[in-house]
Amino acid sequence: MKPTLIITRPAPDGARFAAAFGDVPVILSPLQRIDPVPATCDADEVIFTSTNGVLEAARLGLNTGRAWCVGDRTAQMARDAGFDAVSAQGNVEDLLRLILSDPPRMRLAHIRGKDARGDVAPRLNAAGVACADCIAYVQTPVPLHPDAIAAINGADPVIIPLFSPRAAVLLLENAVLGPHITCVAISTAVADVLGGVSVVTVGQPNAEAMKTAVTSVIATL
């Protein structure tokens, strides 16, 4: 029997990620919903640590100038939106190193959600780079779909990719994970939240590495 894949990423990223796994049974059950909030952003260049930030930039009237992006997928979305995007090809730490390797003199703004890790703006300001925090959306918790709960409470193998520590926290608040559950964590920070749950941690914090890891876990079950 093929394992069931429970995708907890918000739309549209969740469906895009799920499409990579062909005929594997998939349950789309986002644990968070992206809700835009009123925001103003007065900056010459922007920082994106997620694709959600890019999606909200247009609403804020931003579509030109340099965009400092955490990874390749985010950078490509930023280019498609009209930005001159550069990718750190990694995580937030890689992004900060990239920015500080040749500190810009322009005003920066980090377009982000209410819940974010890395303290990007405070750390840049502490390093002498002017950066505003622009909270453009909130990540509203969403209960697990009944089909996801049924799969988790069943006996057949289930794989749950997790892309953030907050998603891991929300998952544990929604369900008790038994030995038939394997979580795939995008980082050690996510794995640490999961504690004693069976977990595979990817080597690189990006969607492609997650797809490779999930495919490998599927092959072993």
Q: Read off the pLDDT of residues 165-210 as tens digits, 9 standing for 90 and up.
A: 999 999 999 999 999 999 999 989 899 999 888 999 998 888 889 9
Distance of CA 192 to the CA centre of its chain: 17
Looking up tokens 């985010």, which residue turns up?
74
**Which one of 91, 113, 139 terminates a domain?**
139
Domain that holds residue 156: 4-31+142-220
Integer Cα distance of 13 and 31 in angstroms: 12
Is the pTM above the cut of 0.85? yes
Which whole-number Å values give the CA distances from 58 to 75, 130, 190, in the listed order? Answer: 15, 22, 30
Same domain membership, residue 151 and residue 132: no
Same domain membership, residue 156 and residue 207: yes
Q: What is the CATH number of the domain that holds 111?
A: 3.40.50.10090
Dihedral over Cα of 132, 137, 140, 144: its sign: negative
**Could you report the per-residue pLDDT of 125-151, keeping only the tens digit for each?**
999 999 999 999 999 999 999 999 999
**Which one of 139, 171, 198 terminates a domain?**
139
Give the DSSP letter of residue 117: S
Same domain membership, residue 117 and residue 48: yes
